[in-house]
Each structure stands twice: as C-alpha cells, then as structure tokens.
Copies of this chain bind each other. A is one copy, B any other.
C-alpha cells in the first residue's frame, strides 16, 4: 500500500523502514534533505516539498505526519488541508493532545478530508519489535489503512496467547487496536504513558529503599549492602514484578550499578500531565499517577520555594533554623529522630 510520511526523525524514519521492508510504497519528506536521501537509499521515494509529496501519491491519499506535537504539527496539517482532495486522509502519529484531534477531525471533515490519530509506542525498539498502535478515527477510514497498521504492529510474536480471547478479533493480539473515533487513539496512548510514569516510579522508590538499606545511620545489624543489579535480575524470573521496564532496569544496573551517567533530573512530556488533567476532569482518584508526575517535577529543582516556606514556619514557631548544605548528614540525622524537648511543638 502507498503512504506518504512527513517527518523523518527516529520514529518517522523507522516507521518508513518497517513499511519498506514489507514492500509498501513509501514517499517521504523531511525539512532537511539528508534524512530524505537516507531513506531513499533504503527504497523510499524521496521528495523535497509538501507539494511534491502530494503529487507523488495517488488519490485517495494517506499521509502520516510524524512531527513534534503542537504548533509544528498543527501548521503542517493546515498546509496539507489546502493541498489535499476530498477523501484523502491525514494520519497524526505524534503525541497530540486528544482534544486537538477531536477539533481537527471536525475541521477537516467540513472539507471532506479524513483524520486518523495514532498513538505509537515502541521507541528505539520499534523497527525490530514493531510498534504498539492505538488508533482513533472513522471505522471505514481506519479499515482502509489496515495493511499499514498490520505491518507496523508487532504481530503475535512469541508472547503467550491470553486465554479467553475471541480468536476472531485478533487485531489487539497482533499489536494494534481501533480504539474509537478521532482522539481515542491518542487518549489511550496518553493513559498508557500515565501508567508508565506510575510503574517507573514504583520501581524507583523500591530500589531507593534497597539502596539506602546500607546507610550508616541504621543500626549495624540491620544494615544490608544489597546487590541491586542481582536483585533486578532475579526479579525478572518468576516474580510478580517482572516487566519490560524491569528488564531495562536490570540492563542499566548490570552496566553501571551507580547510574553515574544520569543526573536524576527527569523530564516529563505532555501525556503524563494530560493524564492527570483527564483524571481531574473525570473525578478519578489517581494518587499514584499524580505522585509519579510530581516526583519528576521535584527532581528538576534544587529547592522549591515551598520548602523554604516550611523552614520559615518552623523558625516562626520553634526558632529552628535549617542549615545550608549537608544533604547527606541531614538525612543521617533525620533517620535518628531525637525529639528534643526544645522542638516540642
């Protein structure tokens, strides 16, 4: 099947390659020409303008936009909308906020253009493992694109089948789903990322407890110098917490158990935030997902203003002055809370 792809970052380029390997016809455009040439070398048709891309494709066209979410994607879709013909379909494979999908689908429908949103998971591993796809859009449009999705998805692989699945409905087992109307694909992907934050933070906290069990502030008999790499590894087999994230943890710890190349400042992206906003809108209690996001916010700051305010209040009622410096010693001190009468507040 024929597909145009706009945006040849790592994800866009690998999606193109996975399609090419399955003999799909792929026309690619990227702002910088070298990436286009690289794909052309792998068998794609490379073009140097959006107009040329549209010209190379036979109607009804399908164009996959794989650009940074937000303004960049928004403008590209506006550009495309002016060039395309009724019946053509624009696929947004990026990390768009699902309410933007709903709006866009409505705007494009008024011009008889179709819109499909695809939440795409798989990252640097997707080219080989395949991409887990969560798709939103009209039934017949998504159906028309099925050969593409089928190629991109991981397929059954060697993962054990789930007992009780309806064998006739096997898209989910092959790694892609049509989640619902426009926006539903990105909504499911958004929640996926929200869960991902929670899972990651659960492991992070657990390993923190293991790590600090060697602290000198603990009674000597209760101090353990645990081998975290071994622990991550052993949990991969037969334990309840085995997961792909644990596999990655085991790899990272096997390589450098001190994790010294990582600063500990953890970025977050739109999906993690939108998940909390959605939960708030839907009145769903999500303490774990929210705590995981907040831990990332906190990780990127030296001290919050709020923490200084806590110290100021403590000074106000008890005359305590929190000393500068001494992170390590402060922790050690606090782990033997003494409850001095002078701080009896």
Check A338/B69 contact, CB under 8 A, given A304-B285, A323-B265: yes
Contacts A121-B239, A265-B311 known; list 14 others, CB within 8 Å: A9-B342, A125-B238, A165-B233, A183-B224, A192-B206, A195-B241, A207-B306, A208-B306, A209-B275, A243-B246, A252-B312, A267-B333, A273-B281, A285-B295
Check A159/B237 contact, CB under 8 A, given A9-B340, A345-B123: yes
Nearest residue, chain B, Cβ from A156: B237
**Residues of chain B within 8 A of A122, CB atoms compared:** 238-239, 344-345
Nearest residue, chain B, Cβ from A264: B303
Q: Which stretch from A43-51, A128-136, A137-145 is at the chain B interface?
A: A128-136
**Within the oligomer, what is the number of copies of this chain?**
4
Check A205/B279 contact, CB under 8 A, given A236-B159, A237-B153: yes
Q: Which of B9, B286, B302 contacts A208 (CB 8 A)?
A: B286
Q: Which of B94, B132, B284 contacts A212 (CB 8 A)?
A: B284
**Residues of chain B within 8 A of A237, CB atoms compared:** 130, 132, 153-155, 157, 159, 173-175
Please, what's the 1-or-0 string for A289-315, where 1 marks a CB less than 8 Å from any CB in chain B?
111111111111111111111111111
Q: Which of B123, B204, B226, B320 contacts A184 (CB 8 A)?
A: B226
Is the CB–CB distance between A238 and B290 below 8 Å?
no
**A50 CB to closest chain B CB, in angstroms?**
17
- On chain A, the number of residues with a Cβ less than 8 Å from chain B's Cβ atoms is 194
Nearest residue, chain B, Cβ from A118: B344
Is the CB–CB distance between B234 and A304 below 8 Å?
no
Is the CB–CB distance between B132 and A234 below 8 Å?
yes
**Residues of chain B within 8 A of A330, CB atoms compared:** 265, 267, 300
Chain A contacts with B in 142-162, Cβ cutoff 8 A: 153-155, 157-160, 162
Q: Cβ of A57 < 8 Å from any Cβ of B?
A: no
Q: Which of B68, B212, B222 contacts A183 (CB 8 A)?
A: B222
Check A172/B230 contact, CB under 8 A, given A309-B207, A341-B12: yes
Question: Which secondary structure dominates where chain A touches chain B?
Answer: helix
Q: Which stretch from A20-28, A81-89, A255-263 is at the chain B interface?
A: A255-263
Q: State A236–B269 Cα separation when bound (angstroms).
A: 22
Q: Cβ of A251 < 8 Å from any Cβ of B?
A: yes
Check A340/B287 contact, CB under 8 A, given A123-B317, A198-B202, A234-B132: no
